[in-house]
Amino acid sequence: MEQALANLEVFAATLLELAREDSDVLVVTSDSRGSAKLAPFAKAAAGQIVEVGIAEQNLVGVAAGLTAAGKKVFAVSPACFLTARSLEQIKNDVCYSDRPVKLVGISAGVSYGALGTTHHSLHDYAVLRAIHNITIVAPADNFEARAAVRAAANLAEPVYLRFGKKSMPHLPRVKPGFELGKASLIREGKDLSFLACGEAVAPAFAAAELLAKESIECRVVSLHTVKPLDREAVRKAATETRGVITVEEHSVNGGLGEACAALLLQEGIHARFRIVGFPDEHTVTGSQEEIFRHYGIDGPGLAATARSLLVRA
């Protein structure tokens, strides 16, 4: 059985593989090599890592400049700071200037747990979705993490990769393979669809397994590419099952759920629909697991949401 690793560990290992294959691969960090599991990278490829210190705006500017000089740059920083403090630089130096920097938001969502909302990143999908010329990716497990890093490295446009901190379960797949912009079908089902991304996919799968014991068969889809969205996967979920629940470790404002809802509404597809994420309030503190449970982003909570949606008139 595949070892459960944090996606960040897989990210760092894959990045080292890429650096050994290509000397133009560089990592720029903002005092993040420890939390991003990059210590082995720094030891093995000391000439391919740049430390700018706690200066996230400089991080993005330096990464954009190195990319303009022909380097393949991964800019690594905690997601909460990278996508808030450096938003102007992401918009202008990277996206507007068409520099294919790979922006890597680590410890995303509520990974920092008890440190509270200053360190939570529940806004990043929303702000980056509103900026032209950036692909947004949130891998669901180690397989997707590795594949996403390699796919991003080969993409000639800006990318935002979002990673949490916890060890990830190995999720099954109906079909093998990974492609940016194309959803991964984790589980078949005709009664209801869970459309999820990132670390919210595993709880959705857990809910589907619970509901299967009640003869409720749920489709589980990893929409790992939040932008551009796999429109066909969303359409099929809404038309082939009796309801859709989106699940994300993000605010309910401006994230995956609203992207799916807007698509369906504008195309005239009417479906029972529910967005599960973080409400517009000061987020409770605790461990990531405790916070997920509080907001119903766990197996039992999502199973309860599914039952409610299916019995609604």
Task: Look at the alpha carbons of 193, 143, 9, 104 in this order and tell me if their dihedral is positive or negative.
Answer: negative
**HSE toward the beta carbon, residue 15, CA cutoff 13 A:** 31
Q: What 3 state SS string does 71-97 have?
A: CEEEEEEEHHHHCCCCHHHHHHHHHHC
Instruction: Flag whether pLDDT at 30 surpasses 50.
Output: yes
Average pLDDT over residues 5-23: 93
Structural domain contains residue 172 = no
Structural domain contains residue 226 = yes
Tens digits of residue pLDDT in 265-303: 999 999 999 999 999 999 999 999 999 999 999 999 999
Among 162, 194, 212, the domain boundary falls at 162
Same domain, 146 and 193: no
**Beta sheet of 218-222, edge-to-edge order:** 184-187, 218-222, 192-196, 244-251, 273-278
What is the separation of C-alpha 216 from the centre of its chain, rounded to a whole number of angstroms?
Answer: 27
- Write the CATH number for 125: 3.40.50.970
Average pLDDT over residues 124-152: 97
Overall number of domains in the chain: 2
Instruction: Flag whether pLDDT at 15 surpasses 90.
Output: yes
35 pLDDT tier (thresholds 50, 70, 90)? confident
Same domain, 49 and 157: yes
Instruction: Flag whether pLDDT at 36 surpasses 80.
Output: no
Q: Tabulate helix, strand, coil % of the chain (nearest 5).
A: 40, 20, 40
- Write the CATH number for 237: 3.40.50.920
**Helical ranges in the chain per DSSP H:** 7-21, 39-44, 56-68, 79-82, 87-89, 124-129, 142-153, 201-212, 231-240, 256-266, 288-294, 299-311
Instruction: Flag whether pLDDT at 313 surpasses 80.
Output: no
3 pLDDT tier (thresholds 50, 70, 90)? low
pTM attached to this predicted model: 0.96
Structural domain contains residue 178 = no
Same domain, 190 and 61: no
pLDDT at residue 254 in the model: 98
Tens digits of residue pLDDT in 214-259: 999 999 999 999 999 999 999 999 999 999 999 999 999 999 999 9
Among 162, 195, 219, the domain boundary falls at 162
Same domain, 11 and 158: yes
Same domain, 157 and 196: no
Average pLDDT over residues 198-222: 98
Same domain, 257 and 191: yes
Structure tokens at 294: 């509080």
Domain that holds residue 97: 7-162
Same domain, 247 and 305: yes
pLDDT at residue 34 in the model: 76
Structural domain contains residue 1 = no
Instruction: Flag whether pLDDT at 1 surpasses 70.
Output: no
> Residue 39 and residue 10: Cα distance in Å, rounded?
13
Q: What is the dihedral of CA 98, 103, 108, 114, to 10 degrees?
A: -110
Structural domain contains residue 154 = yes
Q: Which residue has the tokens 């997707």?
A: 144
Same domain, 117 and 216: no
Structural domain contains residue 173 = no
Same domain, 154 and 188: no
pLDDT at residue 139 in the model: 97
Instruction: Flag whether pLDDT at 47 surpasses 70.
Output: yes
Structural domain contains residue 2 = no
Tens digits of residue pLDDT in 59-89: 999 999 999 999 999 999 999 999 999 999 9
Average pLDDT, the chain: 95
Angle at 295 between CA 37 and CA 274, to 5 degrees: 110
pLDDT at residue 31 in the model: 87
Same domain, 153 and 295: no
Same domain, 80 and 141: yes
Same domain, 123 and 33: yes
Q: Which of 100, 31, 88 is nearest to 64 (CA)?
A: 100
Structural domain contains residue 283 = yes
